[in-house]
Amino acid sequence: MNVLGIDVGAGAVKFAVFSKDGLRSFMGEEPTARTYPAFQAQLLDICGRLEKSHGIAAVGVGVPGFISLAERVIERSPNMRFLDGMALERDLAAALALPLAVDNDANAAALGEFLSLDEPRPACFVHLTLGSGIGSGIVLSGRIFHGSDGFAAELGHLLVNSQGRPCGCGNSGCAETESSETGIVRSYQEFACAPDPLSSRDVFARWQAGDEAAREAFRRAGTFLGVLLSQIVYALNPGRISIGGGVAAAGEALLAPAREELARRVVAKAAAGTRIEAARLGNGAGMAGAAALARQQPS
Amino acid sequence: MNVLGIDVGAGAVKFAVFSKDGLRSFMGEEPTARTYPAFQAQLLDICGRLEKSHGIAAVGVGVPGFISLAERVIERSPNMRFLDGMALERDLAAALALPLAVDNDANAAALGEFLSLDEPRPACFVHLTLGSGIGSGIVLSGRIFHGSDGFAAELGHLLVNSQGRPCGCGNSGCAETESSETGIVRSYQEFACAPDPLSSRDVFARWQAGDEAAREAFRRAGTFLGVLLSQIVYALNPGRISIGGGVAAAGEALLAPAREELARRVVAKAAAGTRIEAARLGNGAGMAGAAALARQQPS
């Protein structure tokens, strides 16, 4: 049975058809619509096209935002405000003759990464996406962990620095103020006394060219990532934590100081059981996870 | 069917027989033996006596220490060093003709508190014991959550203060350096410039008498408890967090600033789903949870 996995971002909607053995057989990408009615129509159109061309039997959608478990409503989507308060799952299901699952995009990505692991897979798995913020998902016994209301796994908002920067959540010192793309750029600008706009990719290029401020920026982001990892290990003792997203492209420039800080902070026995690894699927994790959600639906 | 719940502490072993409907029908307490062979003999003796007198059908034991899931070995028990490296469950089972379960004491207490709640019970539940340190347990879908290796739910070691005090774990700024009995006494001594030894009970008595330094000490402990609660809510989105242990006797002196800080730190919708409450069972939680573990064993 073929299923469709759709990964919604503020900028683009990405989608792929997955065959029964998990292989990806088609992929498309288009700019995300700007209003709720247009967005619904866009998703339905994608489903309709691929149902015809690929005979899909179910659809999974990963979407940014806090989705309540009980009402299946997107309570808040900071980067796609037209989704606030919308019952996307119900609205799509009303117009779609296929089984459908909608979940948070970071949760879907976590499930996708989890399923990319060789068996036996860990009983507890955490995936972090270091992008403009930090997305995260927790997979327990092979299923996304939602907490009591659907708002669990906001690990990017765990405290890493009591004297830290203000965060979009209204708090300060959250992990995503330090170890996200935004955090790295901010650190570079501070270390280099260079207020010009640039991307974390630019900072990484400068790191590769031997720039000292860039080195410091990645070391700082990695060290605070290690603080976050220590919190995750103490709370959840996961068998594996995978690190993806744009920032993760920096590889060991980021992961080496993170592992160092983790080892410094956590009792050896507890830390030993947690492998810290770069994510495997890159941008494809969200689509793979959404497809897996589709497959978990009763048909 | 009657089951026996045993709660092991460094100072005392407490035990009770629970009938099928969960009612506690007998309770005893004796000083904890000081060597591993004597301790084993003590537990077997308790089991033997109560098997005769109360016809118990299974035994559960809560014991302080990190217990590995795979090998069922107590990796480390900071306050009962003779347990380090011991396979207590295997050793007891070899001499006992009854089904037996051994788990961490804080996990057992969490399960006991969970089962004291009215139905429907939350899908995700967290219990904190504020004693000389901070013990904690996570109950998911009615069962203790152990993580991948058995070391999950060390929530007392989550970071609450980057500029904080050194912790017994080798780290600094952990929640238990601030919101445990030890933390409160330390804060009081700082605020009152009074280095004399005293207990958190003394500090609470001074708070009741209107002592300003005592008020500050509880406010500080409560505020940092709120930081810890915000970490727990962001990670796990539990339906309920119960707060027990000696410090919790201070009630709202502690919980009011904790709730305030939690509300300040966490997005309203996520915080709204988590009830913060004083624990119900007090010292009995560990025994009740151990008995529940016994009941979960196949007979």
Residue in chain A lying closest to B241 (CA): A148
Strands (E), chain A: 2-8, 12-18, 24-31, 56-63, 66-67, 74-76, 100-104, 124-130, 134-140, 143-144, 240-244, 275-278
A-contacting residues in B 158-197 (Cβ below 8 Å):
158-164, 169-171, 173
Transcribe B110-170 into DSSP letters: HHHHHHHSPSSPPSEEEEEEESSSEEEEEEETTEE--TTTS----GGGSBS-TT--B-TTS
Nearest CB among B76, B173, B238 relative to A148 is that of B238
Nearest CB among A123, A158, A164 relative to B234 is that of A158
| CA atoms lying within 13 Å on the CB side of residue B80 | 25
Q: What is the DSSP letter of B8?
A: E
Residue in chain A lying closest to B153 (CA): A235
Report pLDDT digits (tens) over B206-241.
999 999 999 999 999 999 999 999 999 999 999 999
Q: Do B151 and A269 touch (CB under 8 A)?
A: yes
Q: What is the pLDDT of residue B201?
A: 87
Report pLDDT digits (tens) over A68-88.
998 999 998 888 999 999 999
Distance CA B154, CA A238 (A): 13
Report pLDDT digits (tens) over B52-68.
999 999 999 999 998 99
Q: Do B149 and A265 touch (CB under 8 A)?
A: no
Distance CA B266, CA A70 (A): 20
Q: What is the pLDDT of residue B270?
A: 77
Q: What is the pLDDT of residue B298?
A: 67
Q: What is the pLDDT of residue A126?
A: 98
Chain B hits for A269, Cβ within 8 Å: 66, 68, 75-76, 149, 151
Residue in chain A lying closest to B154 (CA): A234
Report pLDDT digits (tens) over B70-116.
899 999 888 899 999 999 999 999 999 999 999 999 999 999 999 99
Block residue for tokens 């904690």: B136
Residue in chain B lying closest to A227 (CA): B159
Q: Is A157 on the interface with B (CB under 8 A)?
A: yes
- Dig out the tokens for A276 from the structure: 């810290």
pTM, full prediction: 0.94
Q: What is the pLDDT of residue A23?
A: 82
pLDDT of B163 above 80: yes
Residue in chain B lying closest to A271 (CA): B151
Domains and CATH numbers, chain A: 2-110+283-296 (3.30.420.40), 119-279 (3.30.420.40)
Q: Do A76 and B122 touch (CB under 8 A)?
A: no
Phi and psi for A212 in degrees, rounded to 5?
-65, -40
**Given pLDDT bands bounded at 50, 70 and 90, which one contains residue A298?**
low
Rounded mean pLDDT of chain B? 93
Report pLDDT digits (tens) over A107-124.
999 999 999 999 999 999
A-contacting residues in B 88-147 (Cβ below 8 Å):
122-124, 140, 145-147
User: From its phi and psi, is residue B288 left (phi > 0), alpha (psi between -120 and 50) or beta?
Assistant: alpha
Residue in chain B lying closest to A140 (CA): B147
Report pLDDT digits (tens) over B173-186.
999 999 999 999 99
To test the contact with chain B by mutation, choose from A134, A174, A237, A240 the residue with the greatest count of B C-beta atoms within 10 A, namely: A237
Distance CA A204, CA A191 (A): 14
Chain A hits for B70, Cβ within 8 Å: none
Counting residues of chain B whose pLDDT is more than 70, the rounded percentage is 99
Tell me if the bond preceding B197 is cis, omega within 30° of 0.
Answer: no
Q: Is A205 on the interface with B (CB under 8 A)?
A: no
Radius of gyration from C-alpha coordinates of chain B? 19
* Of A25-29, A39-43, A86-90, B100-104, minimum mean pLDDT range: A25-29
Give A275→chain B minimum CA distance, Å: 11
Chain A hits for B124, Cβ within 8 Å: 147-148, 152
Q: Which helix (H) or strand (E) holds B292?
A: helix B285-296
Nearest CB among B169, B173, B269 relative to A151 is that of B269
pLDDT of A145 above 90: yes
Q: What is the pLDDT of residue B194?
A: 80
Q: Do B232 and A235 touch (CB under 8 A)?
A: yes
To test the contact with chain B by mutation, choose from A128, A149, A155 the residue with the greatest count of B C-beta atoms within 10 A, namely: A149
- Dig out the tokens for A221 from the structure: 């982001």
Q: What is the pLDDT of residue A196?
A: 80
pLDDT of A269 above 80: no
Q: What is the pLDDT of residue A299?
A: 53
Q: What is the pLDDT of residue A29?
A: 95
Residue in chain B lying closest to A241 (CA): B148
Give B172→chain A minimum CA distance, Å: 9
Mean pLDDT of A250-262: 93
